[in-house]
Structure 1
Amino acid sequence: MEASFSLNDNTARITLSGDFTFEAHRSFKEAGQHALDSANASALEIDFAAVDYMDSAALGMLLLLRERFGARPIRLINTRGTVKAVLDVANFGRLFQFE
């Protein structure tokens, strides 16, 4: 999996591509660190458009990033299929915004 970072106005974005599993932790952590280091980022979007599968390790990575990002909102965008089902079963709608 690849995770890339971009910043548009005050919104940081992590774009994911491939299966979001434990093997993605380094790439996701690096992109997340860029978001954390962006002082003017008031929100974060994580784009799942190119992700077809995620495992429990990915859920843990999202929780850790949420904890580190503080009170700023995190939106999970373009979730669908199995990924959306995993996020729903894990009740992530209580922790993250979905679009």
Structure 2
Amino acid sequence: MAITSHPSADGQELTISIQGRFDFGAHQEFRDAYERVNLSPKRYVVDLEGTTYLDSSALGMLLLLRDHAGGDHAQISLVNCNPNVRKILAISNFEQLFKIA
């Protein structure tokens, strides 16, 4: 598992990429990916292309990111979801809270 974050050139967007399993073992690394950057982005993109699995703790971590980013006003997109990940997000009604592309 590897989690990396990359700000856009203008600093307005932060992309967080998750490779492998997204579970409780990724908790601190995921938080560091958005809390330890020296900018305040307006938008967040969570790239799940390399994510092979996610569980309820991963859903909780996404909610923590949402709170950090402004709650109801947060602009967070979950992108490149494989069918299994998309199914878990749909069952959890996360399309109500995040833009899923």
- With structure 2 as the length reference, what TM-score do the two structures score? 0.90
Cα RMSD (Å) of the superposition?
Answer: 1.2
Cα deviation per residue 1:49-96 (whole Å; 9 max; x = unaligned)?
Answer: 000110000000000110111023000000112111110000000000
Question: What is the letter of the counterpart of residue 20 of structure 2?
Answer: G
Structure 2 match to 1:53: 53
Structure 2 match to 1:63: 63
Structure 1 match to 2:21: 19
Q: How many residues align?
A: 97
Partner Cα separation in structure 1 for residue 14 and residue 65 of structure 2: 13
Percentage identity across paired residues of the two chains: 34
Q: 1:77-96, aligned counterparts within 5 Å?
A: 77-96=79-98
Instruction: Name stretches of at least 5 consecutive residues in structure 1 with no aligned partner.
Output: none
Off by >2 Å, runs of 4+ in structure 1? none
**1:93 alignment partner, SS class:** helix
Instruction: Name stretches of at least 5 consecutive residues in structure 2 with no aligned partner.
Output: none
Q: Which has the higher strand share?
A: 2
Partner Cα separation in structure 2 for residue 34 and residue 80 of structure 1: 28
Question: What is the letter of the counterpart of residue 55 of structure 1?
Answer: D
- With structure 1 as the length reference, what TM-score do the two structures score? 0.91
**2:5 alignment partner, SS class:** strand
